[in-house]
Structure 1
Amino acid sequence: MNLKEIYSELLTNIGFRESEIEQNWLDLKKAYSNKSRYYHNLTHINDMVECFEIYADQLKFPNEVLFSIFYHDYVYKSSKKDNELKSAEYAVKILPKETNLNSKLVFDMICATQLHQYNEIEDINWLIDFDLKILARDWNEYQIYFEQIRKEYRIYPDFLYKPGRAKALKHFLEHEFIFQTKSFRDLFEEKARANIEKEILLLT
């Protein structure tokens, strides 16, 4: 299935009417296709959905995780620090009154993608890891990723951007682990750390 089909099936399963699904898809597509989005776009969502499909059998709340994937970057402005909160508020607001989805959990899941820190709810850890899997791509793909991030922050000159980006990257390295699930640590931790260290060198 393509992204729209996966999205439509999810919304059908959690109580949306057909007319609402089409409009919500158009709204979602418009938000993620904004010309200022070089990384936080539908390609990123598609990558996360692919991760979700691989690990769905590990999840206790698959619908909540999938819905959170679609909406976790719905609001994204590089100059703002409340994108995740605004995205979470929007995601919960559009849910039907009669839904089998845990709206509180969705809200918490989306907010958790801001700090990417360990959570007692394991499904949140899976969501965080899906979001960060880009960090463990092959170097040429990782390089495309950080160049896309730079474009999203193009309003900032290098003398502001580089120290800020380096600080954010070092924050990942200061923790015992970048990834929160054992599966992702075993597969991707080493590669992600190597990529981050290499990018930091380029920034300094």
Structure 2
Amino acid sequence: MDKSPSLQIEFQHTISRYSTDETLIQSYWLEIKRQYETAGRYYHNLTHLKNILMELNEISAEINDWEVILCSVFYHDIIYDARAQDNEEQSAQLAKARLSKLQLPESKIDLVFNQIIATKKHQKSTDSDTNYFLDADLSILGKDWEQYNSYGQNIRKEYAIYPDDLYNQGRKKALTHFLTLETIFSTPHFQSKYERQARLNLTREINLL
């Protein structure tokens, strides 16, 4: 099922508060859609964005700046190459370049930039919106095993350029890192909702690698 129509409405509604240039707004959306629909994106695609927004909609009353967090959602994985080490930096720079053409205050653009950069390490932030955004980005970790396993398989497809032994080594290291954290999720909402199942899922996948 195509997840893009409601995403398009959400994006255009947000951006239209800062620009009346319909051609520019449409070009921004088409760029986002094109990037997230690039061949080889089995997980980091429009469905991923849709799921993050669904998680955040549940707690929208807790979000201080909804417009900023929406921009972060749409742009945080706009650049994604499994071989690259700077996807987050490139995505943040692209977001800054695009949003700077609008009338967004510099302070909001800086927040978007920093939230996207924060997805590189997923460390707890002093900014509550950033923590909600990061937790929503990781929410797949705490879904039921069927959904989690499907996610894991899709990540493997995105890293198909790597042989099993190399991939498994890197994947195990990443998953083990999450398990060493005092809590995987930074906010009480997501801890209550997903922490326990996330730890079960991560442990199960590690044992299968």
Instruction: Normalising by structure 2, report the TM-score.
Output: 0.94
Q: Given the alignment, which residue of 171, 174, 191 partners 2:177? A: 171
1:56 Cα shift?
Answer: 1.2
1:99 offset after TM fit, Å? Answer: 1.8
Measure, in 1, the Cα distance between the counterparts of 2:196 and 2:93: 35
Conserved 8 A contact 1:65-1:123: yes
SS of the residue corresponding to residue 124 of structure 2 reads: coil
- Corresponding residue for 2:103? 98
Aligned counterpart in structure 1 of residue 190 of structure 2, from 169, 184, 187: 184
Q: Deviations over 1:66-119 (max 9, x none)?
A: 100000000000011100110000001011252246111110000001111100
Q: Distance in 2 between matches of 1:190 and 1:133?
A: 12
Does structure 1 residue 33 correspond to structure 2 residue 13? no
Distance across 1 between alignment mates of 2:33 and 2:146: 27
* Per-residue deviation, residues 13-57 of structure 1 (Å, max 9, x unmatched): 233621111111111110000011000000001101111211111
1:63 partner letter = E
CA pair 182-81 structure 1, distance change in 2 beyond 3 A: same
Please say if 1:111 is aligned against 2:117.
yes
Equivalent-residue separation in structure 2 for 1:166 and 1:177 (angstroms): 18
Of residues 3, 6, 9, the one that matches 2:10 is 6
Paired with 2:139 and 2:102, the residues of 1 have a C-alpha distance of 34
Give a deviation string over 1:128-151, Cα, whole Å, max 9, x none.
001000001110111100000000
Taking the aligned partners of 1:82 and 1:158, their CA distance within structure 2 comes to 23
1:128 is aligned to 134
Contact 1:15 1:99 in 2 (8 A): no
Question: 1:97–1:33: structure 2 CA closer, same or farther, 3 Å change rule?
Answer: closer
For residue 163 of structure 2, what is the aligned residue in structure 1? 157
User: Percent identity at matched positions?
Assistant: 39
Separation in structure 2 between the aligned mates of residue 151 and residue 28 of structure 1, nearest angstrom: 21
- Within 1, Cα distance between the matches of 2:92 and 2:20? 18
Stretches of structure 2 lacking an aligned partner (at least 5 in a row): none
More moved, 143-152 vs 18-27: 18-27
Number of aligned residue pairs: give it. 203
Q: TM-score, normalised by structure 1?
A: 0.96
- RMSD after superposition: 1.2
The answer to whether the 8 A contact 2:19-2:25 is kept is no
Tell me, yes or no, if structure 1 residue 71 matches structure 2 residue 90: no
Per-residue CA distance 1:134-191 (angstroms, 9 max, x = gap): 0011101111000000000000000100010000000001110000101110111000
Q: Pick from 62, 71, 88: which aligns with 2:66?
A: 62
